[in-house]
Amino acid sequence: MRKSPLSLLLLLLFSPLVAEENPFTNAKPRMFLQAEYLYFWLKGTPEPPLLVTENETALLGGTSLHTGPQSGARFSLTYKFGSSRFFGLDANYLFLEKDSYSKSVSSDGDLGSAHLTIPYFNIVTFQESETNLSLPGRFSGEATLKVTNELQEAEANGTFKLLPRRLPVDLQLLTGFLWWDFEEKLTFTTSSPSIIPPLDTFYTKDEFKTSNEFYGGQVGLKSEVFWNRLSLQLKAEAAFGLMCSELRINGMLVTNDFNGLQETETFPAGYFGLPSNTGNFKRQYFSIIPQGVARLYFHLTRYLSLDIGYTFLYVTKTLWATNSLDSLINPSQAPAISGSPSITLVGPAFPEPLFETKDFWMQGLTLGVQLRF
């Protein structure tokens, strides 16, 4: 009986073929080059402490921040050795473009305008307190919270074929090395100039920056099932190693309020970045990074394929900039709070550099193209 064109098409698409003899994946390809576009979502950053309030209503800080979807790219290279293709090398590099979140609040300082304050816990008096960001009738106030992050990853694995030839399934053992890097920066800036002449300058900047670099060995499995022009690839791996985290804190006040409105002076103290916690601080700890990748390939020719996929990655311990602000403050070293030019610490050394790690995850969709030789 003569078969219809539709039945021939279905037979062509869905009849399984042996991986090594599939004419659409190049009988025995040795090298695979792949480029993918990434559209990923990251876990929302931990909430920073309250930064600006109005009548005890939070305007900045106090809630988790979501920077939104991020685009990126991943480039992969696979090379198989020998006629049996039993052993191979598999390497890839991934990056996400820098992303940012920014929010500002302000008050013009006119009578009847919003009275903005910066809350903190006074460690000397052991009481909740606040300092004025704006004061109606005297000075205006503006504050901006900005958070940026960027991520990259690289891995190199040896691959070992586990299943015999002449099966429509390719199963490989992966073992190798993973490097993962995530950086986040929080910047909190304020300006509180007088609205009554002569005008002055009163500007602060607090900057908290964290970097996390992971180095570890990993093991995993990669499989691919073939249906003629289609194939499904699944990869799961887990890395175990050392997370090297660094916290950098800086703060400054630029003002001419303490010298009779002459040239501006710069003091190494903002509101949350003060002499007691300014500097670079490093920690190392054990961390685990499991991740999984799924890709569906459509093989256009024996040398070219298109794919759509999904990736998920989880990190057990990550240091976040938004989780590194300490609202316990000794105002003796904070001219912006005390109204005095002294930065000499009197009493307990607060704020402290905080190293409170939290987990991290990212997931997203991928679109790619693969070349085989």
Residue 273 in domain: yes
Q: Which residue has tokens 């958070």?
A: 147
Q: How far apart are CA 64 and CA 43, in angstroms?
A: 10
Neighbours of 54 (CB within 10 A): 15
Give the pLDDT of residue 84: 76
SS3 5: helix
Full domain range(s) for residue 277: 21-372
Residue 366 in domain: yes
User: For the stretch 131-153, what's the b/e string if a residue is b when 16 or more beta carbons lie within 10 angstroms of its beta carbon?
Assistant: bebbbbeebbbbbbbebbbbbeb
Residue 12 in domain: no
Angle, CA of 159, 232 and 24, to the nearest 5°: 90
Give the pLDDT of residue 243: 98
User: For the stretch 83-100, what's the b/e string if a residue is b when 16 or more beta carbons lie within 10 angstroms of its beta carbon?
Assistant: eebeebebebebbbeebe
Residue 255 in domain: yes
Give the pLDDT of residue 20: 56
Q: How many domains does the chain have?
A: 1
Residue 2 in domain: no
CA 137 to chain centre: 42
Residue 351, domain CATH: 2.40.128.100
Longest dimension (CA), the chain: 102
Would you say 69 and 41 are in contact if contact means Cβ atoms under 8 Å apart?
yes
Residue 16 in domain: no
Residue 117 in domain: yes
Tens of each residue's pLDDT in the chain, 373 residues? 455 554 444 444 445 555 555 655 555 788 999 999 999 999 988 989 999 999 889 999 988 877 679 999 999 999 999 877 889 999 999 999 998 889 999 999 999 999 999 999 999 999 999 999 999 999 999 999 999 999 999 999 999 999 876 677 889 999 999 999 999 999 999 999 999 988 899 999 999 999 999 999 999 999 999 888 899 999 999 999 999 999 999 999 999 999 999 999 999 999 999 999 999 999 999 999 999 999 999 999 989 999 999 999 999 999 999 999 999 999 999 999 999 999 999 999 999 999 999 999 999 999 999 999 8
Residue 47 in domain: yes
SS3 303: coil
